[in-house]
């Protein structure tokens, strides 16, 4: 696998906005010591009051954004870089305050302050954990599952509507883009945005670039999603690489006998693939009970699919655990099964999905709405056809949820719009990008599989504004099965700073994986 870097001077883009208040803010960020109680990177917290509803002319109603800043460590100071790790809806402050902050500081060169902020109204989220937990994880593996998922997601949509009428239409991506420019204004630097966004963060970055093209300095879109499909609520393209990644997993395992537990003597990709497919069939139609007496458990198919699609995103950190998970089931070892399942699940339920922020932002952004499940079936089938592992799970989390959503963001994207940004934007994508220039898979942003060449290109872009040649390809520096890579050891011997950076990248990948799932 390799990374493709491309510089794009402009976007072809969908945009439609209403008349908006253009008042220049006269508000400043209030900075204070963080009380997040997270170990990792020294950081400063802040708040900035921004308009609650940008479509309300002359309104005095404000919203306090919760900010975080990681200070630059090098002179000369070159300004601030804003950062979004995806989701949508992740509590970004806790990410930067953790181990990720230092890594991204290095990743941008050390001369920039890193700034980010939690989703709008995140602090005041009504805890909908109960209703979300009551919704069974579904990969739509039986013919009754679509109806069940549809009904559960309707109850979620209704509950969110009844509980969040105050803000349900005020948290969409266009407002967040305006929030970012309010922060740029309040920082009082050069009035330009510098930004690094992953996955959904690429949608936010492209949106702010289309809305404020003259105010873009350096913008990196990493793990680019298809914008048109995102806003239409029909993002099947995020899945195009998933099944190929699974084949990649099998091949990498077979060629890494020292780290892949499934790689027995003489095994081929073909036999391993057959073995795992048979195992999946068994789990699906004749679920396995493991253990005995009071310690037992049933291996569930839907969960297994969820663990596969989630784990495929981060080869260097999750593939060994995925291999361990299959091996435990093949060996009927309950202890090992629990161990690897919990590693892949990341312990507790992720904060992002225990609240309403994720569907709240995505579903209010997208235009797809219907109360007719029959009419939605072709799209659901398209999701399923695109990936045998992620299709069902993401169909439930996205179209099945969003089609029934009761809020529509007050400002959102609809018509065609063409923009030339002041400076070129850097796209970082996967080998599968050949399908369309802006097509990529959510499971392929640069932290999924660390590559020094990619990080150096990004750093050089931020520091010097130098762009790699369009189509530049970078190889990963860590093997799919973890850090025992001979490349990494070789580099460690050659250049300890590079080795530190690669190790930090691995730990960030683990950190993000452990806390944020796709389902």
Ligand X SMILES: *[C@@H]1O[C@H](CO)[C@@H](O)[C@H](O)[C@H]1NC(C)=O
Helix ranges (DSSP H) in 32-98: 92-97
- Among candidates 15, 22, 40, which has minimal Cα distance to 414? 15
Helix axes 452-464, 496-515, angle to 10 degrees: 100
Q: How would you classify residue 178: left for phi > 0, otherwise alpha for psi between -120 and 50, otherwise beta?
A: alpha
Query: Cβ 56 to ligand X, closest distance in Å?
Result: 14
In this complex, which beta carbon is closest to ligand X, that of residue 71 or of residue 148?
Answer: 71
In this complex, which beta carbon is closest to ligand X, that of residue 207 or of residue 514?
Answer: 514
CB 171 within 8 A of CB 361: yes
Separation between Cα atoms, residue 279 and residue 330, nearest integer Å? 8
Query: Cβ 148 to ligand X, closest distance in Å?
Result: 19
Half-sphere exposure of 149 (CA within 13 A, CB side): 27
Query: Cβ 192 to ligand X, closest distance in Å?
Result: 19
Separation between Cα atoms, residue 27 and residue 67, nearest integer Å? 14
Order across the sheet with 62-70: list the strands. 30-33, 44-51, 62-70, 113-117, 80-84, 193-198, 216-222, 416-429, 3-14, 472-474
Tokens found for residue 242: 């998933």
In this complex, which beta carbon is closest to ligand X, that of residue 131 or of residue 145?
Answer: 145
Helix ranges (DSSP H) in 188-330: 200-211, 227-232, 242-254, 269-285, 301-311, 315-330
Give bridge partners of residue 482 from the DSSP assignment.
479
Query: Cβ 436 to ligand X, closest distance in Å?
Result: 18
Query: Cβ 390 to ligand X, closest distance in Å?
Result: 15
Query: Cβ 319 to ligand X, closest distance in Å?
Result: 17
Query: Cβ 66 to ligand X, closest distance in Å?
Result: 10
Query: Cβ 49 to ligand X, closest distance in Å?
Result: 6
Query: Cβ 309 to ligand X, closest distance in Å?
Result: 18
DSSP 77: P
In this complex, which beta carbon is closest to ligand X, that of residue 13 or of residue 198?
Answer: 198
In this complex, which beta carbon is closest to ligand X, that of residue 209 or of residue 253?
Answer: 253
In this complex, which beta carbon is closest to ligand X, that of residue 114 or of residue 132?
Answer: 114
User: Rounded to the nearest 10 degrees, how much is the dihedral formed by the CA atoms of 335, 339, 342, 346?
Assistant: 170
Query: Cβ 76 to ligand X, closest distance in Å?
Result: 12
Separation between Cα atoms, residue 270 and residue 178, nearest integer Å? 51
List all residues 6 or more positions away from 301 whose beta carbon is below 8 Å from its beta carbon: 139, 141, 280, 283, 284, 287
CB atoms near residue 417 (< 10 Å): 15
Written in H, E and C, the secondary structure of 98-161 is CHHHHHHHHHCCCCCEEEEECCCCCCCCCCCHHHHHHCCCCCCCCCCHHHHHHHHHHHHHHHHH
Query: Cβ 455 to ligand X, closest distance in Å?
Result: 10
In this complex, which beta carbon is closest to ligand X, that of residue 49 or of residue 269?
Answer: 49
**Where do contacts with ligand X occur on this chain (CB under 6 A)?**
26, 42-44, 47, 49, 62-64, 71, 102-103, 106, 109-110, 293-294, 333, 335-336, 339, 372, 374-375, 378, 381-382, 385, 459-460, 463-464, 500-501, 504
User: Rounded to the nearest 10 degrees, how much is the dihedral formed by the CA atoms of 445, 449, 453, 454?
Assistant: 10
Separation between Cα atoms, residue 443 and residue 193, nearest integer Å? 26
In this complex, which beta carbon is closest to ligand X, that of residue 317 or of residue 350?
Answer: 317
In this complex, which beta carbon is closest to ligand X, that of residue 219 or of residue 224?
Answer: 219
Query: Cβ 102 to ligand X, closest distance in Å?
Result: 4
In this complex, which beta carbon is closest to ligand X, that of residue 17 or of residue 51?
Answer: 51
In this complex, which beta carbon is closest to ligand X, that of residue 250 or of residue 321?
Answer: 321
Pairing of strands 44-51, 30-33: antiparallel
Total H helices, total E strands in the chain = 19, 12
In this complex, which beta carbon is closest to ligand X, that of residue 65 or of residue 308?
Answer: 65
């Amino acid at each position: 696998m390799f990374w493709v870097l491309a510089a794009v001077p402009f976007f072809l883009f969908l945009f439609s906005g209403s008349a908006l208040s253009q008042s220049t803010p006269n508000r400043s960020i209030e900075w204070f010591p963080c009380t997040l109680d997270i170990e990792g990177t020294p950081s400063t917290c802040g708040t900035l009051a921004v308009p609650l509803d940008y479509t309300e002319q002359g309104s005095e109603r404000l919203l306090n954004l919760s900010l975080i800043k990681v200070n630059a460590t090098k002179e000369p100071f070159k300004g601030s870089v804003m950062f979004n790790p995806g989701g949508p809806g992740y509590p970004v402050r806790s990410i930067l305050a953790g181990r990720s902050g230092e890594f991204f500081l290095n990743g941008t060169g050390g001369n920039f302050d890193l700034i980010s902020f939690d989703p709008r109204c995140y602090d005041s989220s009504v805890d909908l954990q109960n209703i979300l937990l009551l919704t069974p994880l579904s990969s739509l593996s039986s013919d009754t599952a679509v109806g069940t998922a549809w009904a559960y997601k309707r109850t979620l949509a209704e509950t969110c509507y009844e509980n969040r009428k105050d803000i349900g239409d005020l948290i969409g991506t266009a407002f967040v883009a305006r929030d970012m420019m309010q922060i740029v204004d309040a920082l009082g630097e050069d009035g330009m945005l510098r930004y690094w966004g992953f996955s959904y963060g690429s949608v936010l970055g492209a949106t702010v670039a289309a809305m404020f093209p003259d105010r873009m300095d350096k913008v990196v879109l990493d793990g680019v999603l298809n914008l048109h499909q995102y806003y239409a609520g029909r993002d099947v393209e995020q899945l195009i690489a998933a099944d190929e990644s699974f084949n990649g997993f099998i091949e990498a395992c077979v060629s890494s006998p020292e780290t892949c537990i499934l790689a027995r003597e003489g095994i081929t990709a073909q036999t391993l693939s057959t073995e795992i497919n048979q195992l999946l069939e068994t789990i699906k139609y004749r679920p396995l009970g493991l253990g005995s007496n009071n310690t037992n458990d049933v291996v569930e198919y839907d969960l297994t699919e969820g663990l596969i699609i989630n784990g495929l995103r981060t080869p260097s950190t999750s593939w060994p655990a995925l291999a361990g998970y299959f091996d435990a089931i093949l060996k009927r070892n309950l202890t090992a099964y629990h161990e690897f399942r919990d590693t892949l699940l990341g312990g507790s339920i992720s904060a992002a999905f225990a609240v309403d922020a994720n569907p709240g932002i995505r579903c209010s952004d997208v235009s797809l709405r219907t109360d007719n499940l029959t009419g939605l079936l072709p799209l659901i089938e398209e999701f399923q056809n695109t990936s045998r592992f992620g299709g069902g799970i993401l169909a439930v989390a996205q179209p099945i949820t969003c089609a029934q959503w009761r809020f529509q963001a007050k400002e959102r994207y609809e018509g065609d719009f063409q923009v030339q940004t002041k400076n070129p934007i850097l796209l970082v994508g996967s080998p599968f990008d050949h399908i369309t220039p802006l097509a990529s898979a959510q499971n392929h942003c640069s932290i999924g599989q660390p590559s020094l060449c990619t990080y150096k290109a990004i750093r050089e872009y931020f520091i010097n504004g130098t762009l790699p040649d369009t189509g530049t390809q970078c190889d990963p520096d860590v093997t799919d099965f973890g850090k025992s890579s001979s490349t990494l050891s070789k580099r460690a011997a050659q250049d300890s700073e590079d080795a530190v950076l690669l190790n930090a990248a691995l730990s960030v990948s683990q950190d993000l994986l452990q806390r944020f799932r796709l389902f």
